[in-house]
Amino acid sequence: MAVMARLQAWQKGVMRCMAIALVALLTLMTGESPVLAQTAAEVVATPLGERSFVAMAVEQVGDAVVRIDTETTVVRETPDLFFDDPFFRGFMGPNGFPSYPQQELLRGQGSGFIISAAGDILTNSHVVDGADRVTVTLKDGRSYEGIVEGQDSVTDLAVVKIEAGDEPLPIAQLGNSDSVKVGDWAIAVGNPLGLDNTVTLGIISTLKRSSASVGIPDKRLDFIQTDAAINPGNSGGPLLNQTGAVIGINTAIRADAMGIGFAIPINKAKEIKDQLVAGESIAHPYLGVQIATLTPDIARRNNEDPNAGVLIPEVAGVLVIRVIPNTPAAEAGLRRGDVVLEIDGEAISSADVLQRQVENSTVGQTLNLKIKRGDQIERLAVITAELDSSE
């Protein structure tokens, strides 16, 4: 017994030293002693046999995480192989061979989490987009037919409804993504690659990672980036903080990503979930331009290039690369090569900032732009229109 007691004391001492070292390392990296360091120390110092904060967080929300299976029937016109035989080819004439419709059943899988006792489930739009049949399976094995109440492809969010009758449903607690800090714990829960009820752990790597910077310019999102593993099948599942509250919706969007995952902030979902439940469309204002961040150095290098197609003002702002015809920007007189300096008196330093300003406006709102065109400063008023997300 004395030997066992000494062994346990030695073990606790080692773990306490590891905790102190971890706190010191995190303090050195961040310049302060964050709550994260304290939590990390507690995790390392947790005696064997006691439950970690990860287990307790997952226990709170795990039952509310669901698997979503989809089926989509695709009809393709396929030429009859009988008439593809060279023997019959000469009899068909110049019109070629007849085509016959052929059906193909495509299956997909993703994740989601229950957000109301009425059976509303939050997930990604791309998980259920175009599906003819949606099946929702709970962790306890219960299975229901799902109905897509509403979806918005621009924010990649959707709400699926199940009818559970009198059967109680577990509900995930929604947190506040605005309070998330870089370095906080991040826990991803879902069904990656068909492996149900998978949990991965990491930290918040960065915040407000724009959708354009991660290769999906057709979306309007500022992602939470994490190193918690997020794979196909995780899409639509929750990203949790250390207390088990949902801070994001996991989105597997980069097939080449290794150790990098992205999640839609839960506050974005909070803004529009009630509209999605009601089946309403989400209005997104737009201008109708393709843009890029401009710095004086970038402009200078362009202007020194003898093969440059256009001279660019050597200023900081947002360069208009293309103006799409029949859009608010075109009607307001914006031109290729213009540099947007301000919107409503606020300086615009990057394409992300401009996009965020437009997204935070309303459809039909007038935005007053200060632009530099050549050597001249001009002011234009652009009236936003509603983006057609189906195009």
Q: What is the DSSP string of 143-181?
A: EEEEEEEEEETTTTEEEEE---TTS----PPB--GGG--
- 142 found inside a domain: no
Same domain, 237 and 324: no
Give catalytic residues, as residue numbers. Answer: 126, 156, 235
Same domain, 368 and 291: yes
Same domain, 250 and 309: no
Same domain, 13 and 40: yes
* Helices vs strands, H then E, count in the chain: 9, 20
The one-letter amino acid code at 213 reads: S
- 331 found inside a domain: yes
CATH number for the domain spanning 346: value is: 2.30.42.10
SS3 content of the chain, % helix, strand, coil (to 5): 30, 35, 35
Same domain, 216 and 294: no
- 134 found inside a domain: no
pLDDT in tens, 232-271: 888 999 999 999 999 999 987 666 666 789 999 999 999 9
Could you tell me which residues are beta bridge partners of residue 200? 188
The one-letter amino acid code at 341 reads: L
C-alpha angle 54-160-189 in degrees, rounded to nearest 5 = 15
- 353 found inside a domain: yes
User: What is the token pair recorded at 165?
Assistant: 């009758």
Q: What letter does residue 362 receive in the DSSP assignment?
A: -
Same domain, 265 and 192: yes
CATH number for the domain spanning 218: value is: 2.40.10.10
- 78 found inside a domain: no
Residue at which a domain ends, from 228, 251, 277:
277
Same domain, 267 and 291: no
Same domain, 190 and 269: yes
- 38 found inside a domain: yes
Secondary structure of residue 351 in the 3-state scheme = helix
Same domain, 319 and 268: no
The one-letter amino acid code at 379 reads: R
Residue at which a domain ends, from 277, 298, 320:
277
> pLDDT truncated to tens, each residue of the chain (391 aa)?
454 555 455 455 545 555 545 544 544 554 544 444 445 555 545 554 577 999 999 999 999 999 999 999 887 766 555 555 555 555 555 555 565 667 788 899 999 999 999 999 999 999 999 999 999 999 999 999 999 999 999 999 999 999 988 889 999 999 999 999 999 999 999 988 778 889 999 999 999 888 777 777 767 788 999 999 888 888 999 999 999 999 999 987 666 666 789 999 999 999 999 999 999 999 999 999 999 999 999 999 998 988 887 888 889 999 999 999 999 999 999 999 999 999 999 999 888 889 889 988 999 999 999 999 988 999 999 999 998 765 4
Residue at which a domain ends, from 260, 277, 294:
277
| Number of structural domains the chain divides into | 3
Secondary structure of residue 292 in the 3-state scheme = strand
**169 vs 63: CA distance, rounded Å:** 9
- The closest alpha carbon to 63, from 113, 4, 8, belongs to 113
The crossing angle, in degrees rounded to 10, of helices 35-45 and 2-30 is 160
Phi, psi dihedral angles at 209 (to 5 degrees): -80, 115
- 189 found inside a domain: yes
Interacting residues of 352 by C-beta distance below 8 A, sequence separation 6+ = 208, 210, 212, 213, 222, 293
Same domain, 339 and 290: yes
- 159 found inside a domain: no
Same domain, 290 and 262: no
Q: What range defines the domain where residue 25 resides?
A: 2-50
Same domain, 183 and 273: yes
